[in-house]
Amino acid sequence: MKILILSVLISISFNFAQAQQNADSTAVMAILEEVFTVCNSASPEGESSTIIIFERLSQYILYTGNDPVRKNKEACNYDKSDDRKLVDETGLKINKWLDKIENYNVLKYSNQKQGAMDKHILKLGYKVKNSNKDITFGFVKIENNFYLIEIK
């Protein structure tokens, strides 16, 4: 009887973990799609400017700066110059990638513990001049929100 109860509990735990992973992977992909949309719709600073403003992107990027109160706890704040620099660099990097591809597909989703945070990794495949390439986007989940932390 104890073995039966234990195996049922293990099965329930496994099914819950699998359901959570499926929900997380769907949420990460939805956030990444939003990031792509925001980057594609970023506006120039002025009518004749080549400087692009990625203010809306800041809500999707984790603050990793020097302030210990904010570090790894919240999204970037575009009103702060250090945050703005990270957000703009990230937006330009994403736009450069989006400009050179026609489409992409999800190759792999995985998650792992990184210290106190859950890291979620989404690997996308794409083609450039008949050559298969891939790019990886890393996210962390903090209080049910996903934040972009790296692009490789």
Average pLDDT over residues 101-121: 89
Closest residue by Cα to residue 148 from 66, 65, 76, 68: 76
Coil, strand, or helix at residue 4? helix
pLDDT tens-digit series, residues 6-40: 343 344 433 434 555 678 889 999 999 999 999 98
Q: Where do the DSSP E strands lie in 32-130?
A: 43-44, 52-53, 104-114, 117-128
Question: What mean pLDDT is reported for the chain?
Answer: 83
